[in-house]
Structure 1
Amino acid sequence: MVEKVFRWILTLVGLVLGYAVAEILIKLDAVNRFIVSGVYHLGFIALLMIFLGIIFYVISPYIIRLIFKVIEMLEVPIQKIPTNDVILAVLGLIIGLIIANLLVSPFSKFLTGSTILSVIASAVTLILNIVFAILGIDITLKKKEELYNVFTFLKRFSKDKKGKSESKIGISQPKILDTSVIIDGRILDILKTGFLEGPILIPSFVLEELRHIADSSDNLKRARGRRGLDILNSIQKEVSLKVEIIEKDFDNIQEVDSKLLKLCQLYNGKIITNDFNLNKVAEVQGVPVLNINELANAVKPIVIPGEEMHIHIIKDGKEAGQGVAYLDDGTMIVVEGGKKHVGEAVNVVVTSVLQTAAGRMIFAKLKNVS
């Protein structure tokens, strides 16, 4: 059906082109020596229109196939371009064409005095339109990060003007998951509890990194990668929050952590991670981070110096005479003088608690031992 419509459109183009060519030939007196004016001119015009219409009708299938091939060749690379970039490129194209025509319009009336000047004016107009169109596209794509930040600022500014009552129920900041927190798996249980608000964003480059890990020749890495993909699948199916795969990528940035930070700034979101180094770099760059390890430490039972505990010492400590035990949540307890009680259940008294981003350590001594 589409090919038939195109074929009749091209036939119509041939008819119009035949009319235009006939008019030009008549005005140039190219055919007046062969035919006289009047009805013969109309016959000449009709004959040329029918002639070119038939030609275009005959060759239209080849033209249509050529057009479809060109479209197919352009479609593949265009589909790889993010939608935001396409919109910005079109915006830059429009701005460039507007500027070019604004520059040309004041001089156009001075360049229409003769045929030569008209040709020059047309050529200059065409060149300026092409140059400024390319400049518009190039500048908007190179400055796209700044433009994204401007749009983000405008969105935030418009939200701030709506008032306090409306802002309280507004859309929350997006939460962006990194590779480590997906493999870790605890994020699934946290999201199920409803303590976090969405949307949850999963960058395509994080998904690609998980695929590479899952395809690794190393058994441990392969298991971790497949676990991450399973967790991701469970998040998409079991979590009530909006979960979205973001196709945005940064070709000029190689490291995944740097891409995450850039994406977080772009979407005005927060990174969810348990990577200590990423957490520190994000703090330096002013990017908000939700660290799963810090959350786990925050919800552990509070232990204060002087509190008594009944524990089971399972191994020697690093220092001489020390023994090591663990709570049910994995918290390590270092017991002074506990080496000789390895394998035994003993009562201890907490002496101090060391809190770090990596976890919590409890130091204790045996009860009734001075």
Structure 2
Amino acid sequence: MDLILIRFIFVVFVSFTCFLIHPFGPNPRLDAAVGALLGLSIVVFEWRLLRVSLKRLIGAAIGSILGIFGAYLFALVIRNSLEESSLRSFLQIMVMLLMAYVGLIVGANKGDLLNLAALGGIFGGEKQLKKSYKILDTSVIIDGRIADIAETGFFDGVVVTPQFVLRELQLVADSGDSLKRNRGRRGLDILQRLQKVPSLQVQIVEDDFPGVREVDLKLIELAKLYEGKIITNDFNLNKIAQLQGVEVLNINELANALKPIVLPGETMRVFILKEGKEYNQGVAYLDDGTMVVVDNARKMIGKTIDISVTSVLQTTAGKMIFGKWDERSAPRSDPRNAMGAASSISESKKQIVIADQPAE
């Protein structure tokens, strides 16, 4: 609140100063309006600077100073080469603006390479004050597992949800398709669960990028702006973000990493659910959704059997386990028990026949 008051006083002061001095013409009202716009521009510039890291600020300052120094040297050459004229003045001004601008941009971009720790800890608080931003995309919100992970306390910091993601969620929630509508509403419920996690700070941001149409590219630009990480389970977004140097936390990769390790030669018990693509294959699934392809198990569909793991295949979509069922390892009935059971059945039949005969 104090900062807002100070900014307001600053804008009023600039406007009143222009009203008294008349720097833009004899009309005092026009001068006051232009002064107010100038003050607002300075406040907006200051507000944007608050989001810039200290390294980039130092880099931009150093780059600007070097650029102005280089412009001064160029101006000396221009002054000694050309006669005094409007062209010479124009070239000197343009060279100064160009060099200062280039130095500012290059210095800001290269500022992250500065090692502030080498300055003896003068700027040691910069790392402590820096927040860890996690940016959620639509797919990971609808997926829902992010809420369970957050409630376990495996990650903390500031969870950033942009307005364009909320709009996309709302469109899905208002869809005419009941399946999409339920998914969209579940995504909104997941955001409410995240807001109740004590270790998280859910922040809704208004930042948008009108020049970028696709939501995935907007998320990447937002991650660059906040220097944060994108949380997603979208394979394509994962690859594009990594190509542009943005860190990604993929929920699917985390789930695959948490799956139990199975080695070839181990024995496991599975339920054969359906037949496989190849001849005499059966397919089973573990509790975590891992597919298990079993050879010689087609006739065991609907039964639980013990198999021997032959190989494990790790793919981008997940893990697949290949195994083999040995028919010889299946439990067999004892022939003597079978003969005894058959004789018991025949004796029972004889008793039934005798009981059915009429008495003489």
* TM-score category of the 2 structures, normalised to the smaller one: 0.5 to 0.7
SS class of match (1:199): strand
Q: CA deviation at 1:237?
A: 1.8
Q: How far apart are the structure 1 equivalents of 2:178 and 2:118? A: 51
Give unmatched runs, 5+ long, in structure 1: 1-62, 64-69, 90-131
State whether structure 2 residue 176 is matched by structure 1 residue 217: yes
Q: How far apart are the structure 2 equivalents of 1:148 and 1:220? A: 49
Contact between 1:322 and 1:338, CA under 8 Å: does it hold in 2?
yes
Identity %: 53
State whether structure 2 residue 193 is matched by structure 1 residue 234: yes
State whether structure 2 residue 135 is matched by structure 1 residue 176: yes
1:37 alignment counterpart: none
- Number of residues of Structure 1 aligned to a counterpart in Structure 2: 248
State whether structure 2 residue 161 is matched by structure 1 residue 202: yes
Worse-superposed segment, 327-336 or 233-242: 233-242
1:32 alignment counterpart: none
Q: How far apart are the structure 2 equivalents of 1:155 and 1:208? A: 37
Contact between 1:160 and 1:167, CA under 8 Å: does it hold in 2?
no
2:259 alignment counterpart: 300
Q: How far apart are the structure 2 equivalents of 1:212 and 1:233? A: 18
- Among candidates 108, 114, 139, match of residue 150 of structure 1: 108
- Among candidates 306, 318, 321, match of residue 347 of structure 1: 306
Give the 3 Å change call, closer, same or farther, for CA 149–317 of structure 1 in structure 2: farther
Worse-superposed segment, 245-254 or 277-286: 277-286
1:288 alignment counterpart: 247
SS class of match (1:245): strand
Q: CA deviation at 1:170?
A: 5.9
* Amino acid corresponding to residue 154 of structure 2 in structure 1: F
State whether structure 2 residue 277 is matched by structure 1 residue 321: no
Q: How far apart are the structure 2 equivalents of 1:275 and 1:338? A: 34
SS class of match (1:362): strand
SS class of match (1:242): strand
Give the 3 Å change call, closer, same or farther, for CA 263–149 of structure 1 in structure 2: farther
Q: CA deviation at 1:149?
A: 9.7
Q: CA deviation at 1:246?
A: 1.5
2:224 alignment counterpart: 265
1:278 alignment counterpart: 237
- Among candidates 284, 290, 293, match of residue 334 of structure 1: 293
Q: CA deviation at 1:368?
A: 5.6
Q: Deviations over 1:279-312 (max 9, x none)?
A: 1111221211110000001011111111100111
Runs of 4 or more off by more than 4 Å in structure 1? 83-89, 146-149, 151-161, 163-170
Q: How far apart are the structure 2 equivalents of 1:149 and 1:214? A: 45
Q: How far apart are the structure 2 equivalents of 1:341 and 1:333? A: 14
Q: CA deviation at 1:169?
A: 5.6
Q: CA deviation at 1:266?
A: 1.4
Q: CA deviation at 1:360?
A: 0.9
Contact between 2:290 and 2:318, CA under 8 Å: does it hold in 1?
yes
SS class of match (1:296): helix
Q: How far apart are the structure 1 equivalents of 2:225 and 2:112? A: 13
Contact between 1:305 and 1:350, CA under 8 Å: does it hold in 2?
yes
Q: How far apart are the structure 1 equivalents of 2:123 and 2:106? A: 25
Q: How far apart are the structure 2 equivalents of 1:285 and 1:334? A: 38
- Among candidates 249, 254, 276, match of residue 208 of structure 2: 249
Q: Deviations over 1:175-220 (max 9, x none)?
A: 1111100100100111112221312111111111111111111111
RMSD of aligned C-alpha atoms? 4.0
Pairing 1:354-365 to 2, within 5 Å after superposition? 354-365=313-324
Q: How far apart are the structure 1 equivalents of 2:219 and 2:167? A: 13
SS class of match (1:306): coil
Contact between 1:309 and 1:348, CA under 8 Å: does it hold in 2?
yes
SS class of match (2:200): coil
Give the 3 Å change call, closer, same or farther, for CA 154–339 of structure 1 in structure 2: closer
Pairing 1:33-182 to 2, within 5 Å after superposition? 87=47, 150=108, 153=111, 158=116, 162=121, 171=130, 173-182=132-141
**TM-score normalized by structure 1?**
0.58
Contact between 2:136 and 2:161, CA under 8 Å: does it hold in 1?
yes
Q: How far apart are the structure 2 equivalents of 1:157 and 1:203? A: 32
Give the 3 Å change call, closer, same or farther, for CA 243–186 of structure 1 in structure 2: same
Q: How far apart are the structure 1 equivalents of 2:194 and 2:220? A: 22
Q: CA deviation at 1:343?
A: 0.3
Q: How far apart are the structure 2 equivalents of 1:254 and 1:342? A: 49
Q: CA deviation at 1:157?
A: 5.5
1:185 alignment counterpart: 144
Give the 3 Å change call, closer, same or farther, for CA 257–232 of structure 1 in structure 2: same
Q: How far apart are the structure 2 equivalents of 1:179 and 1:285? A: 20
Q: How far apart are the structure 1 equivalents of 2:294 and 2:144? A: 31
Give unmatched runs, 5+ long, in structure 2: 1-28, 50-92, 330-360
